[in-house]
Amino acid sequence: MSAFQNATKNNIARGIGRMTDLVFTSGKGSYVQTSCGKNLLDFTCGIGVVNTGHSHPRVIAAAKEQLDNIVHAQVNIGYHDKMLELTELLLPHLPKGLDRIYYGTTGAEAVENAVKMARALTGKHAVVVFRGGYHGRTFGTMAMTTSSRIYRQKFGPLIPGIHVTPFPYEYHGITSDMAMAELEQLFKDTLHEDDVAAFLIEPVLGEGGYAPAPPGFLKKIREFANSKNALLICDEVQTGFGRTGSLFACDSEYNNDVQPDILTMAKGIASGFPLSAVATYREIADACDPGMLGGTYAGNALSCAAGVATQHIIHDENLIENSAKMGERLRDNLRNIQQSEVSKGLIGDVRGLGLMTGVEFTKEAEEGIKTKLSQECLEEGMLLLGCSTYEVMRFVPPLNVTEEEIDIGCEKFENALKRVL
């Protein structure tokens, strides 16, 4: 990297939180390379984006082929073949009955359009979200995000009509029954069902702590939404496309095959190319008249081509099965570390589904330990992020990660832990 490029870093807006000062130049599989010659094991996966690993050859080939055809086929002007092909691939694997898809660019855009659809159908405005959820940074999704105050700091006033209720974060003593009791109380003292359009939930808290909803909780929310004549929106921007050991978390065996009214998707849908989607029923989608939805780059042709390749890879290379298997190995390794002398009894919880795993430290651990661990893991040659307002490390390897890479990553984490504790 030139001295000029290094100086140019100062011209990038400082409002972006950044784990390192590194410049990434290439990536392959579970590893990324930097301008200073480092080869780093990436257990951040672009924050759950490159599920097929960095620069999967089939994704790269599909993108190169698409570049020779058409890059930008604007959706308000016409269709393009890769959007139709991707739709054909997605439909058989969506939760039962979801047969309409809207394509966007980002996860936040998907969530906002899901809320638009819910409001358009129901004629109601309020949305109930769950504490610790992360849904995006736009003005609409910022109001729905409660995983950290930094995302809304100095930006108010936010949009009205968003109501927050507890998520069943069991490690912190909030059970499913307690969360449901709080939700029921919210409808007694604050909300009326005539005002509530939808309930919006992540099946696994992402930024809020990598905490799966307890088994049966999503089903309770599904039933509660029905009782209030409101829709259920499952935000699977991070959990979708095999991340949790099933294609989607909401309709997995773990969650009793819950069927949402609206499903939002992004991140793993196209292996790093900017693409998002909203899936729903015809009745809900048809509540929006032509012109009510759209976007300049919505459903970009290059991104859809990458999305088509990604769907084939997920199924052809058994990435869902590998996610479940490697996730178990990862958590077994981490629990061994938890129970060893290395942790000094300061690891309180190891949890997760598939390759979406959180390690939470006890209240006795030093404040800011997650930041120190990220830096020490970097010294060990691994990218690993913290999350949550609590002290949580999140492990997010690619879905085609190998047993050897899982073991190497856990060894690096253990070595980092020895220096921090």
How do residues 400-411 score in pLDDT, each as one tens digit?
999 999 999 999
**pLDDT at 3 exceeding the cut of 80:** no
Amino acid 300 reads N
Helix (H) or strand (E) holding 62: helix 57-67
What pLDDT, on a 0 to 100 scale, did the predictor assign at position 2?
Answer: 67
Write out the two tokens for 46. 């672009």
Q: How confident is the model at residue 6 (pLDDT cuts 50, 70, 90)?
A: confident
Give residues with Cβ within 8 angstroms of 289, minimum separation 6: none
Q: Answer yes or no: are the C-beta atoms of 246 and 315 closer than 8 Å.
A: no
Q: How confident is the model at residue 338 (pLDDT cuts 50, 70, 90)?
A: very high
By CB neighbour count within 10 A (0-12 exposed, 13-18 middle, 19+ buried), where does 160 fall? exposed
Amino acid 355 reads L
What pLDDT, on a 0 to 100 scale, did the predictor assign at position 247?
Answer: 97
What pLDDT, on a 0 to 100 scale, did the predictor assign at position 310?
Answer: 98
Cα separations in angstroms, 195 against 119, 125, 190, 210, 286:
10, 6, 11, 31, 21
The mean pLDDT value for 316-330 works out to 98
Q: Answer yes or no: are the C-beta atoms of 359 and 334 closer than 8 Å.
A: yes
Write out the two tokens for 131. 């504490």
Residue 335, φ and ψ in degrees, nearest 5: -70, -30
Q: Answer yes or no: are the C-beta atoms of 104 and 110 closer than 8 Å.
A: yes
Helix (H) or strand (E) holding 28: strand 24-28
Q: How confident is the model at residue 7 (pLDDT cuts 50, 70, 90)?
A: confident
How do residues 260-303 score in pLDDT, each as one tens digit?
999 999 999 999 999 999 999 999 999 999 999 999 999 999 99
CA 252, 253, 254, 257 dihedral sign is positive
CA distance 414 to 409: 9
Tell me the helix, strand and coil percentages in the chain, rounded to 5.
40, 20, 45
Q: What is the percent of the chain with per-residue pLDDT over 90, rounded to a whole number?
A: 97
DSSP state of 332: H
Q: What is the percent of the chain with per-residue pLDDT over 70, rounded to a whole number?
A: 99
Q: How confident is the model at residue 376 (pLDDT cuts 50, 70, 90)?
A: very high
Residue 392, φ and ψ in degrees, nearest 5: -125, 135
CA distance 200 to 352: 20
What pLDDT, on a 0 to 100 scale, did the predictor assign at position 259?
Answer: 97
Q: Are strands 392-395 and 126-130 parallel, antiparallel or unpaired?
A: unpaired
The residue among 353, 270, 258 whose CA lies nearest residue 89 is 270
Place of tokens 């809207």: 102
The mean pLDDT value for 110-136 works out to 98
What pLDDT, on a 0 to 100 scale, did the predictor assign at position 4?
Answer: 60
Amino acid 404 reads E
Give residues with Cβ within 8 angstroms of 337, minimum separation 6: 343, 347, 410, 413, 414, 417
The mean pLDDT value for 247-256 works out to 94
By CB neighbour count within 10 A (0-12 exposed, 13-18 middle, 19+ buried), where does 201 fall? buried
By CB neighbour count within 10 A (0-12 exposed, 13-18 middle, 19+ buried), where does 364 fall? exposed
Q: Is the pTM of this model over 0.95?
A: yes
Q: Answer yes or no: are the C-beta atoms of 97 and 281 closer than 8 Å.
A: yes
**pLDDT at 124 exceeding the cut of 90:** yes
How do residues 215-231 score in pLDDT, each as one tens digit?
999 999 999 999 999 99
Amino acid 59 reads V
How do residues 38-70 score in pLDDT, each as one tens digit?
999 999 999 999 999 999 999 999 999 999 999
Cα separations in angstroms, 157 against 152, 199, 317:
9, 22, 47
3 state DSSP class of 111: helix
What pLDDT, on a 0 to 100 scale, did the predictor assign at position 1?
Answer: 63
Cα separations in angstroms, 82 against 49, 90, 198:
20, 12, 31
